[in-house]
Each structure stands twice: as structure tokens, then as C-alpha cells.
Amino acid sequence: MKTRNIKVLIIEDSEDDFSLLLRELNKGIYNIEYSLVVDAAGLRNALSTKWDLIISDYSLPGFTGKDALEICNEKEVDIPFIMVSGIVGEDIAVDMMKSGAKDYIMKGNLTRLLPAIGRELEDAESRKYRKQAEEALLINEKLYHNLFNQASEGLVLLTTEFEIADVNHAFAEMHGYSIEEIKKIDLNKLEVRKASSYAVKEEIKKWVDGGDVDRFEMEHYHKDGHIFPLSITLSRINIGTPFYLLFYQDITKRKESEAIVQKRMADLEWFNNISVGRELKMVELKIEINELLKKMGEEKKYEIHL
């Protein structure tokens, strides 16, 4: 029962040998669609079509199997090339194999042909899927690098051993460094309190390895010496190889807003304690606090009844 269709390009000048070859091919599980060429010009034209297999005699008038293989190599076609010959010696066969032929079969032993075809078609399929996977990985890596370098948040990429693999421009800029400078710095030294985010405790590592995301805050030193607060998100990603990814956001403005709110709330409490009758001032403070909380994206604290 025929279970697979294949397209075979046959390079052969002998009608008798061609008939024998075709008879052997038809014994297998393949529905054969073939084309016959006898010279270099015919081969070059035929290679514009997609083939599953090339079977070539070695000795043709003014044209050899080695010539045919060289043309295929020049065209960079990834098609299994099997040489079938009745006169080739072992030295020529070895040379053909070194040049890229997948197998050589003597015409007196064509029973080897179908098993060789099956093996080579399977190998070709594996190469195809491997190439597709490699191309997909390359695309993913390029996409990652573009997103990584163009991100507005500071990003640090760590290996699974928590060694620095890469940092982006935003991370360098928020610390006052160029990308070239930041890559030469021990990033642990940027931390005010040596927690350290680059030596994450085992329980946090297990948490993140399980697919969760860890968020925390810490303070870093700027190049000019001042200290600024950061919100950090740690997650595990896979871009062909597993990594840990740290997102850094400068939260200086948020902290400043929080400090203003806390100051206003303290003022309110103070006024409330010493001036119960000063309702108007208290209302003004409550409105101001509500507005500040709104700007921070939080819900208002006080209901105002005028």
C-alpha cells in the first residue's frame, strides 16, 4: 500500500538502468513523481523545482555524478543525494560521500535502495524541523533583544546561577551611567542595603521557578552619590535558555508623593487634636489629601460633606 508521495529527480542516461531503477522504486511504499535529466543544463533547470530526493548515476556522457553533486552544493539545496552506479570504485564513492552524497549503491545491489531512501527522507525531515526551530529561536532572540534594549524600564538579565548576563540602556541611564560603564560595574555595589537582589534567597528562587513573580523595593546609589528608591519585579523567562529577569522602576516621585500625603495627614491630625472647631481648614486638608491620593492612583481617604 502506497502511503507517501515523493518527488524524485533522477540523473541517468541509460534507458535500461532507468527502468531497473524505477521498478525498484515502485516496490516501496512511495507514490513516485519523477523527472529525468541527463546533463548539467537539465539539472540546473530542474533544481528550480522542489525535490524530496536526487538519485544520480556516476558516469554520464561529458558529465559525472561528482559534477552533479557540485552543482547541488553550489545551489545550496538540502536534498538527499544518493549515487547509484555500476562502475564506481571505492575511492570515488568515499570522495562522493565526503562531498555531501548521503549514500552510494551499486546497481547490482538495488535492494539497498529503498532502505537508504527511507533513512535519508527521515533525516531530511529531522533537519527541516531542526532548521525551523533554530530559525524560530533566532527570531525570538532578535525580538527579545529589541524589546530589552528599547524598554523604558531598567532591565537586568541573570543566568540561573544569578550571574549578570545583560543590562539595558534604561537601567544604565537611571543610575547615571553609560551602557559601557554599567557593564563594567559590580551591580551588587549599587545596592544601599546589601540584600542582595542578585543573590536571592533559596525560598524566593523556588517561588519564582514555580512560575510566580516576586516584587520588592530597595534603594540604589546613583553615579553622583545620591540614593533613590526602586520597585523591582523578579520573574523567570525562557528565550531558548532559562534566565531570571529583573524589572527596575524608579519610584522617587511616588515616594515623594507618599511623603507629602503623610505630612498632610499628620497636619490634619494635629489640627484635629488642637482645633476641633476649625472645620474649614480640616476640609481643605482632606480635599488636598484626596487629590494627592488620586494622582497616585489610589482611592480617596476622606468623604467630604460640605
Query: Of 229, 250, 271, which one is at a domain's C-terminal end?
Result: 250
Say if 187 falls within a structural domain: yes
Give the model's pLDDT for residue 139: 59
User: pLDDT tens digits for 228-262?
Assistant: 999 988 888 877 778 888 889 998 888 888 778 78
Say if 162 falls within a structural domain: yes
Residue 95's pLDDT band (boundaries 50, 70, 90)? confident
Based on the number of CB atoms within 10 Å of its own CB, is 104 exposed (0-12), middle (13-18) or buried (19 or more)?
buried
Give the model's pLDDT for residue 208: 75
Residue 140's pLDDT band (boundaries 50, 70, 90)? low
Cell of 131: 532548521
Say if 137 falls within a structural domain: no
User: pLDDT tens digits for 162-197?
Assistant: 788 888 999 999 999 998 898 888 888 888 876 555
Helix residue ranges, H only, 47-201: 65-75, 90-99, 113-150, 169-174, 179-182
Give the model's pLDDT for residue 276: 54
Containing domain of residue 161, as a range?
A: 151-250
β-strand partners of 208: none
Say if 144 falls within a structural domain: no
C-alpha–C-alpha distance, residues 263 and 292, integer Å? 11
Same structural domain, 206 and 114:
no
Give the model's pLDDT for residue 54: 93
Q: What is the mean pLDDT of the chain?
A: 82
What is the count of structural domains for the chain?
Answer: 3
Residue 278's pLDDT band (boundaries 50, 70, 90)? low
Say if 49 falls within a structural domain: yes
Instruction: Look up the CATH number of the domain holding residue 229.
Output: 3.30.450.20
Residue 111 has pLDDT above 60, yes or no: yes
User: pLDDT tens digits for 11-37?
Assistant: 988 888 888 888 888 888 888 899 999
Same structural domain, 242 and 261:
no
Same structural domain, 102 and 16:
yes
Same structural domain, 243 and 178:
yes
C-alpha–C-alpha distance, residues 256 and 260, integer Å? 6
